[in-house]
């Protein structure tokens, strides 16, 4: 008997359909419940990181599922301590309490001593320090000018690297698409050799070449060039996309008297969002999160956000609030980009851009 007919017979009985439908429903419910729990478990560490930015060292030994109420700051804290903990500038304090200009507050004086000497209202003083105490981590980071320069650096590195890679890869892929000549195929295979060269094999030789031979230490170009040279992923995505465009379009440009540059400008550019989007979803997070390259190629004033976090954590080793705040703030731009472009990420990842 035909297996298909037999199978259909078995499945098409009322009991068969009911069993299959019920099984399907139960499976769907189980999967939705599982993924819902998994999603909560995935989001929880981000939430825990956020709450940790408000937890003082004294409170860190207790479990806090929400932002805890901060204990009031002790009035016996010295101004030295305030400078270390809150990055407080004494001149800001003098200005806030309208003390005469030229007032000298000794760093080893406590808040209480300053209050008594200058006859300051205790309530007003406590009100001044309360946000500092609650948002200490945030204030330290947001008052640090290096934080802002590291954001600018991150944008420069990401934009310069990605746009350059798009430009050079487009030029290469335009030629390699369709593999009309033998050397096209050889060149394409040549680029793919990179796939098998591990990163830790390349790092030091490239460092010696870029900083020693070319003298590019502390230049953004030293990072740009490492991506502009082309990566297998970009070459594969762009070449395969350009190859998929009907040859008739290319021929029609030629018939109309145009050359390949016209073809690139009038036909390919308007359609570039697809390969650019597919590459962006992998590349932008990779470049934004670069750590070792900015650390070894650039001086501190040009460090990106990730390198800034590592130096910051080395400076404020005991101030976990500030460290966690820096970590969270350094992650936010990319998270926001990801959530805004999530559809692009899904399309790019599942269209096999990773496989290439």
Residue of 334, 218, 339 whose CA lies nearest to 286: 334
Minimum distance from residue 305 beta carbon to other proteins (Å): 8
Q: Which is nearer to other proteins, 70 or 330 (CB)?
A: 330
Phi, psi of 301, deg, nearest 5: -70, -10
Is residue 262 a contact point for other proteins (CB under 8 A)?
A: no
Tokens of 302: 């040009």
188 CB neighbour count, 10 Å cutoff? 19
Is residue 349 a contact point for other proteins (CB under 8 A)?
A: yes
Interaction residues for other proteins, span 221-260 (CB under 8 A): 225-226, 228-230, 259-260
- Among residues 142, 204, 249, 271, which is the contact residue for other proteins, using CB under 8 A? 204
Is residue 354 a contact point for other proteins (CB under 8 A)?
A: yes
- Among residues 119, 145, 213, 318, which is the contact residue for other proteins, using CB under 8 A? 213
DSSP string, 27-47: HHHHHHHHHHHHHHHHHHHHH
Q: Which is nearer to other proteins, 135 or 288 (CB)?
A: 288
- Interface region with other proteins, contact rule CB under 8 A, candidates 2-10, 127-135, 143-151, 248-256: 2-10
Minimum distance from residue 169 beta carbon to other proteins (Å): 7
x/- site string to other proteins, residues 51 to 90, per CB under 8 A? xx--x----xxxx---------------------------
| DSSP annotation of 110 | B
Q: How many chain residues bind other proteins (CB under 8 A)?
A: 97
DSSP string, 138-176: HHHHHT-HHHHHHHHHHHHHHHHHHHHHHHHHHHHHHHH
193 CB neighbour count, 10 Å cutoff? 9
Is residue 343 a contact point for other proteins (CB under 8 A)?
A: yes
Check: CB of residue 304 under 8 Å from CB of residue 295: no
Please identify which residue in the block is written with the tokens 């999603």.
39
Check: CB of residue 174 under 8 Å from CB of residue 264: yes
Minimum distance from residue 228 beta carbon to other proteins (Å): 6
């Amino acid at each position: 008997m035909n297996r298909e007919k037999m199978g259909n017979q078995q499945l098409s009985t009322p009991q068969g359909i009911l069993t299959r439908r019920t099984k399907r429903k139960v499976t769907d419910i189980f999967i939705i419940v599982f993924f819902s729990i998994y999603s909560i478990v995935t989001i929880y560490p981000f939430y825990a990181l956020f709450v940790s930015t408000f937890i003082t060292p004294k409170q860190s030994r207790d479990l806090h599922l929400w932002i805890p109420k901060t204990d009031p700051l002790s009035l016996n804290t010295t101004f030295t301590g305030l400078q270390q903990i809150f990055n407080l500038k004494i001149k800001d304090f003098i200005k806030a309490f309208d003390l005469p200009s030229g007032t000298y507050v000794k760093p080893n004086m406590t808040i209480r001593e300053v209050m008594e000497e200058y006859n300051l209202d205790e309530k007003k003083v406590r009100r001044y320090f309360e946000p500092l105490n609650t948002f200490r981590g945030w204030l330290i980071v947001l008052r640090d000018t290096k934080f802002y320069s590291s954001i600018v650096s991150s944008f420069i590195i990401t934009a310069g690297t990605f746009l350059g890679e798009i430009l050079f890869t487009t030029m290469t892929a335009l030629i390699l698409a369709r593999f009309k000549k033998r050397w096209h195929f050889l060149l394409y295979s040549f680029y793919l050799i990179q796939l098998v060269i591990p990163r830790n094999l390349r790092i030091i030789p490239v460092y010696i070449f870029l900083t020693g031979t070319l003298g590019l230490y502390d230049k953004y170009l030293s990072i740009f060039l490492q991506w502009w040279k082309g990566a297998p992923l970009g070459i594969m995505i762009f070449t395969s996309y350009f190859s998929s465009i009907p040859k008739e379009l290319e021929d029609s440009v030629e018939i109309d008297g145009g050359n390949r540059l016209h073809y690139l400008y009038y036909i390919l550019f308007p359609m570039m969002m697809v390969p650019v989007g597919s590459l962006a979803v992998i590349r932008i997070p990779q470049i934004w999160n670069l750590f070792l390259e900015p650390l070894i190629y650039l001086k501190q004033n040009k460090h990106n956000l990730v390198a800034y976090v590592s130096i910051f954590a080395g400076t404020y080793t005991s101030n976990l609030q500030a460290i966690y705040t820096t970590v969270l703030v350094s992650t936010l731009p990319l998270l926001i980009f990801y959530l805004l472009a999530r559809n692009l990420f899904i399309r790019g990842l599942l269209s096999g851009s990773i496989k290439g």
